[in-house]
């Protein structure tokens, strides 16, 4: 049997007061769509989330283990864990088990020391801090879009619009991405979630469908 994979499209962008992350919701096993409403944004603390791509089983297992280590750290140190330290715990597991797992994550959150932060951890466990990042099978379709549209000190509304459109454009072209758009806004007040459904045209992005050219000879009626 084919492994359950989360596809996928993950987008994360910093704004002046925190971080916004967005994902699609399609889970696939080969060409079979196993779920259309998967939640790929996993909260690990009130101010930190993990966006998962790769093998669903691997990423869920790693996230559960890391959450335990983060809780132990907070209890022993008597303070909330920082976003950077959280990313290093993820890095340790992803690197140590890089040959046994197929897992890539984005750790995004807010702490009092550095504000909003995004750490990208691709396959293999390398960690890089980014102002914005895209991961998963849909990321190649929107990397140029993010490069051209993101700028420092964007407002929350501007970043939400950017992330929403980036996820939509990726799902429009990527066959392994689709479903609804899930957003998470992380700032000093905690984490807030939003759900954008395709059946709500007021909030879900859309594109103008180009008219297709017919491949039939001219003498055949259309």
Per-residue pLDDT of the chain (222 residues; tens, 9 = 90+): 455 555 789 999 999 899 999 999 998 887 788 889 999 999 999 999 999 998 889 999 999 999 999 999 999 999 999 999 999 999 999 999 999 999 999 999 999 999 999 999 998 889 999 999 999 999 999 999 999 999 999 999 999 999 999 999 999 999 889 999 999 999 999 999 999 999 988 889 888 888 888 888 888 876
Residues in the chain: 222
CB contact at 8 A, 194 and 22: no
Residue 210 domain-assigned? no
pLDDT at position 98 is 92
Residue 105 domain-assigned? yes
8 included as an active-site residue: yes
pLDDT at position 81 is 96
Domain extent, residue 56, equals 10-196
For residue range 94-127, what is the model confidence (pLDDT) as tens digits?
999 999 999 999 999 999 999 999 999 998 889 9
pLDDT at position 109 is 98
pLDDT at position 29 is 81
- Alpha-helical runs (H) found in the chain: 56-77, 83-96, 143-149, 156-173
**Active-site option among 6, 8, 42, 63:** 8
pTM, two decimals, is 0.90
Residue 165 domain-assigned? yes
Q: Per the structure, how many domains does the chain have?
A: 1
pLDDT at position 6 is 54
Q: What is the CATH number of the domain that holds 35?
A: 3.60.20.10
pLDDT at position 187 is 96
Of 132, 50, 58, nearest in space to 83 by CA = 50
Residue 209 domain-assigned? no
State how beta strands 181-187 and 27-29 pair: unpaired
pLDDT at position 4 is 59
Which two structure tokens, joined as six digits, stand for 142? 């929107």
d(CA 203, CA 161): 10
Reduced to 3 states (helix: H, G, I; strand: E, B; else coil), residue 193 is strand
Residue 103 domain-assigned? yes
pLDDT at position 211 is 85
Residue 212 domain-assigned? no
Residue 150 domain-assigned? yes
Taking phi first (over 0 means left), then psi (-120 to 50 degrees means alpha), and beta for anything else, what does residue 198 get?
alpha
Residue 207 domain-assigned? no
């Amino acid at each position: 049997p084919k492994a359950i994979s989360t596809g996928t499209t993950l987008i994360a962008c910093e704004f002046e007061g925190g971080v916004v992350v967005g994902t699609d919701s399609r889970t696939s096993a080969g060409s079979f769509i196993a779920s259309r409403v998967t939640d790929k944004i996993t909260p690990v603390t009130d101010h930190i989330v993990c966006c998962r791509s790769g093998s669903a089983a691997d990423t869920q297992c790693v996230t559960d283990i890391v959450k335990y280590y983060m809780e132990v750290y907070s209890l022993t140190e008597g303070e909330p864990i920082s976003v950077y330290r959280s990313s290093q715990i993820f890095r340790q597991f992803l690197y140590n088990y890089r040959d046994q797992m197929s897992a890539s994550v984005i750790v995004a959150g807010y702490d009092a020391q550095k504000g909003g932060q995004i750490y990208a951890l691709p396959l293999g466990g390398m960690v890089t801090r980014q102002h914005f990042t895209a991961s998963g099978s849909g990321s190649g379709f929107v990397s140029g879009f993010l490069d051209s549209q993101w700028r420092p000190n964007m407002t929350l509304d501007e970043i939400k619009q950017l992330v929403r459109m980036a996820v939509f454009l990726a799902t429009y072209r990527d066959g392994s991405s689709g479903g609804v758009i899930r957003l998470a806004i992380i700032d000093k007040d905690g984490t807030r979630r939003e759900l954008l459904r395709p059946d709500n045209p007021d909030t879900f992005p859309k594109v103008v469908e180009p008219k297709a050219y017919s491949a039939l000879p001219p003498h055949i009626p259309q």
